[in-house]
Amino acid sequence: MLPRSGRGKTTLLTLGILAILCGMGIGASFTYFYDFPELERLHNYKPNTITRIYARGGELLAELYQERRKPIPLKQIPATLQQAFLAIEDSRFYDHPGVSYPDIFRAFVKNMIAGKFVQGGSTITQQLAKVLFLTPERKLKRKIREALLALEIERRFTKDEILEFYMNQIYLGSGAYGVEAAAQIYFGKTVAQLTLAESAMLAALPKAPTRFNPKTNPDKALLRRNLVIKRMSASGFITAEQEKTAREEPLQLVPRVANIVPEAAYFIEKTRIGLSRRFGQSLYKSGLQIHTTLDIGLQKIAHKALTSGVERINTKRGFKKPGTELKRPPRLGNRFQFHVLDITGKTVSGIIGDYEAEMLLPGRIDPKRLREGDLLLGRVIKVDRASKKLFLDWQETVQGAVIAFDTRTGALRALTGGTNFRRFPFNRATQARRQPGSAFKPIIMGTALSLGYTPAHILMDTPFVRRMPGTLKDWKPRNYTNKFYGPVTMRRTLEKSLNLATIKLLDQMGPQKAVTFAHRLGIRSKMNPYLSLALGSIEVSPYQFTASYIPFATRGVYARPYEITRVTDGRNRVLEENIPTTHLAITPETAYQTKMLLRGVVTNGTGKKAKEIGAFLAGKTGTTNEFRDAWFIGFSEDLVLGVWVGRDDNRHMGYRASGGSAALPIWIETMKGWLEGRESEVRNPEPPPGITLVKVDSRSGQLPSAWCEGEPILEAFVEGTEPSEPCPQKSRLPAMLNGG
């Protein structure tokens, strides 16, 4: 006879079994009378899918999603993969009505004996019901609801439809929902390419996607995979020989691949932000196809040019290049660039010469943003020669931005807002507001030309003093070279970037006229009508300022910048389409004259390093006070390209980092890459109607004669404004010196 306690357990077990059977019978009947409104979703079921962003050539740039998923029909899922899931998750799937009463009974008994929930007994249909409609909580009420839903799902859908829903919906770890996404994430394959062992590995994951994840727990994953293979053999899906071969197959996972082209990260983020304003959360769920204007080849060139340019600038600032051989032992105050080898808490370490380097990160720096191999800057604060160890403090790097537009359409061809988006997510191309310095001078010149001035107009580059409004201080601007050049043409003023002559030109015209002209070029920044405009005292984003040069390259036509050409949905229906939007911003005559002045900057002025490219190029350097900002904005016939470099804290860069020495080399490297393989000529473009080309003396701006002291040059004049007098017999114009 059983003890009283044993009889009690037996009675409880019997009652429990009867209750389950009774409940299931009632539940099965109940499903025919109760309407399940949530199941209507399955009739038109559309799982969240991945939105993809493409470059202009069709190259995939990025994927946006909340759930990484790629639904496929059941007929495209190999039988081996289906059998692997059935063997481990629900071997009686095609026989039961949605719930498996023997499995429920078995689970109930084990849970009763254990005194807690240790086994479920859910069918694939029940798992689908739980994933789609219920919470993961382990309560009797939820389990009953799950069973009822499963019975109703089976009544409304075929077994194959249910299995297809399940295999596209189930979470399989590492952000993968569904078997196709998981196959690509773990093995870099489609489901059709999976081996038997790989299929078993995917089937091993639904029970505990984190615990059996092969990327993070390979030993546990292999044990679970081999259990699936054993079950497949026991179910008759595979032979004993296949089982043996599959069990011996090693795990061969693909490395984790970023879902973006890293060189295009700033462009992608700009695009994402704009799209999210228009599409909201559907951007991450609806499987949109975003086609952009980005030229991926140029983008990679621009990113490489910026990163190498910034490293070069940091070297000029006194930070030795990474990997430099040390000719003498390091001393206090020495500055180095080094690559991160290890990150422990707030401390990073690396190697400098034959010394181990250690640096404590400042509080504002998040170590989670750093990775092995990142380049850091540090200053030596302690040297331990005995242990060959250096201790450094953190030093800020120079940063930069590169932006490129198609001159005719305004299509954004390249954009990078920094050297490393992961470390520096602030997009300097669009979010920074910096002073353009002398790169603003073409706008002053363009204003004057639009008012009837000519490129040969003589300006006085002499000392200038003006009382600052509302103060007792005098404003005494000076040239880059701290020299005065006397009477100079407008052309020479721009080529040599002379501040004093430009200020006097703006004073003659009136600053408000320059503000109006700048607005016509697309500059929307606040501009006070002060004479300091001649020195580029406004604050503007590199993106907007680069675009303002478009009319100079296109006979006065401004093309509105844009980066998205077309957005389509999963059925390839066009949701949004952008076409170039243009308008005449300035006259063709003014644009051509300014263009030819900017050409002179490249041939004879501060941007003459760009002559090496061997094409028709025009542009302007820009440098601000104390070398805080360095610019070069220029263009070929089909590309407007802007480069800015500086420090995020707006402090000086640590040496005479001018537009010509800091920004121009990056611009040259990028433009060379763009023009490689393209036909390009050095000859001047044809002038528009109303422009006449006249040879004049480069120094006086007058017609050449035996008395001229300069070289004859071809200058562009609006018809009727060309000079009529030759150089005088006794010219008193001083010899020109190179400006800064």
What is the bridge-based pairing of β-strands 629-635 and 389-395?
A: unpaired
Question: 430 to each of 398, 478, 488, how far by Cα in Å?
Answer: 17, 31, 37
438 in active site: yes
What is the 8-class DSSP label of residue 280? G
**Please, are residues 659 and 631 in contact by the beta-carbon 8 Å criterion?**
yes
- The two counts, helices (H) then strands (E), for the chain are 21, 26
Task: Give the closest residue to 644 by CA, choosing from 405, 400, 439.
Answer: 400
89 in active site: yes
Among 89, 180, 263, 715, the active-site one is 89
- Amino acid (one-letter) located at 359: M
Q: Report the first-to-last Cα separation within the chain, whole angstroms.
A: 109
Radius of gyration over alpha carbons of the chain, in Å? 36
130 vs 123: CA distance, rounded Å: 11
Task: Give the closest residue to 442 by CA, choosing from 254, 290, 308, 631.
Answer: 631
What is the bridge-based pairing of β-strands 389-395 and 375-384?
A: antiparallel
What is the 8-class DSSP label of residue 685? P
478 vs 500: CA distance, rounded Å: 6
- Amino acid (one-letter) located at 385: R
Record the tokens describing residue 200, joined without a space: 């078993």
CA dihedral 686, 687, 689, 695 (to 10 degrees): -120
- Please give the angle made by the CA atoms of 659, 510 and 721, to the nearest 5 degrees: 85
Record the tokens describing residue 176, joined without a space: 């993968």
Helix (H) or strand (E) holding 283, with range, is none
Task: Give the closest residue to 422 by CA, choosing from 377, 351, 371.
Answer: 371
Record the tokens describing residue 726, joined without a space: 């030759």
| Secondary-structure percent of the chain, ordered helix, strand, coil, rounded to 5 | 40, 20, 40
321 vs 654: CA distance, rounded Å: 16
516 vs 309: CA distance, rounded Å: 35
Among 233, 438, 450, 636, the active-site one is 438
410 vs 565: CA distance, rounded Å: 11
Longest dimension (CA), the chain: 138
- The neighbour count for residue 263, using CB atoms within 10 Å, is 20
- Amino acid (one-letter) located at 209: P
- The neighbour count for residue 258, using CB atoms within 10 Å, is 10
Catalytic positions are 89, 438
